[in-house]
Amino acid sequence: MKITRSLFGKTNEGIEIELFTLTNDHQVSIQITNYGAIITSIVTPDKNGELTDIALGFGKLENYLSPEYLGSYPYFGSICGRVCNRIADGKFTLEGKDYTLAVNNGPNHLHGGLVGFDKKVWTAEILEDTDNAGVRLSYLSADMEEGYPGNLITTCTYTLNNSNELSIEYTAETDQTTLVNLTNHTYFNLTGGKETILNHELELPAKTFTESVGSIPTGKIVTVKDTAFDFLAKKKLGKDIEPLPDGYDLNFVLDNVEGKLVYAGCLSEETSGRMIEVHTTQPGIQLYTGYWIPELIVDGRKKFGKYSGVALETQHFPDSVNKSHFPSVILTPGQNFYEKTVYKFGTK
């Protein structure tokens, strides 16, 4: 196990940004930057031992800051917060007070607003021992940042071990009642970008999903049975995708009321033999097949585009603050917020 740190670039304000490379004894390496707490790269071997980057991202900070990327912003690898996913009309009421947030996704608030956690510079601390290599990233979100009440101290700890497991642990504390719902927005492509993700196979243990209209839950939780959203048995992402105008972008219910670390799904791809198992303490997982990922020119060649990656975002449900029967995203002073997600990389 080892970890290295290097300079990744400078922000438009001249702030130096670091890149951390976690490497285990089985040739798995993961790169993370303290800008947006972004996972920039995940390199794993395929069934023949060939190493490929299976995460959508860039090798230079300047690409994350470019107008071309931000113009159709897909949140590659970032931590989304204070509240990931959508809040209807950017409005909620908390302890009798009405709050209005920025709307940055049609009429709705998405992934923390105009300048969410994905665009912040986090403080980094290296964690290293014989069994793990990791980095703990911390950020203080000031009272009323992006419209959210309370000073919120958040940490995100990335840890890689020799079982080829990447653990992501989130903590948060607040001095006023506020909202917290954190996720990582990494997109995976197990072919390393040689093909789209439509031939990737996915299994999800979710028997239900949150019905949505215009990406906002109606409040109904409905069965996956006899729908395109049934992944109880492994199937290709492209099998039932054609009738869906924007592909998959939906929250699945994991029936994890107690917040235990439970199995949340498995993504696999036959030609490479690669697979990723997901375990989480969160109650939901958003499947997004990347319909709106922009096609970009990177170092002189075309990259990415529609269906070039799939995100498996563990989370609390979208618009939970406005749906009292959904798992709560409210955090009060004295409470310690904690969630954990594990991505285990392997081959069939």
316 among known catalytic residues: no
How far is 258 from 245, CA to CA, in rounded Å? 35
Rounded Cα gap, residues 138 and 249, in angstroms: 29
**Catalytic pick from 109, 111, 185, 279?**
185
CA-angle at 184, arms to 75 and 82, nearest 5°: 85
CA quadruple 202, 160, 125, 153: dihedral positive or negative?
A: positive
Contacts of 198 (CB under 8 A, 6+ apart): 236, 237, 238, 241, 307
The secondary structure of residue 151, as a DSSP letter, is -
Q: What residue type is 246 in one-letter code?
A: D
User: Across the strands, what pairs with 156?
Assistant: 137, 170
Does an H or E element contain 262, and which?
Answer: strand 262-268
3-state class of 237 per DSSP? coil
How far is CA 90 from its chain centroid?
20
Amino acid at 47: K
- 185 labelled catalytic: yes
Q: Are 266 and 277 in contact (CB under 8 A)?
A: yes
How would you class 326 by CB atoms within 10 Å of its CB: exposed for 0-12, middle for 13-18, buried for 19 or more? Answer: buried
Helices within the chain (DSSP H only): 61-65, 67-71
Q: Would you state the structure tokens that stand for residue 150, as one six-digit string?
A: 């309370």
H/E stretch holding 188 reads strand 187-188
Nearest to 58 by CA among 198, 157, 193, 184: 193
Catalytic residue among 145, 146, 277, 313: 313
Which residues have a catalytic role annotated? Answer: 185, 313
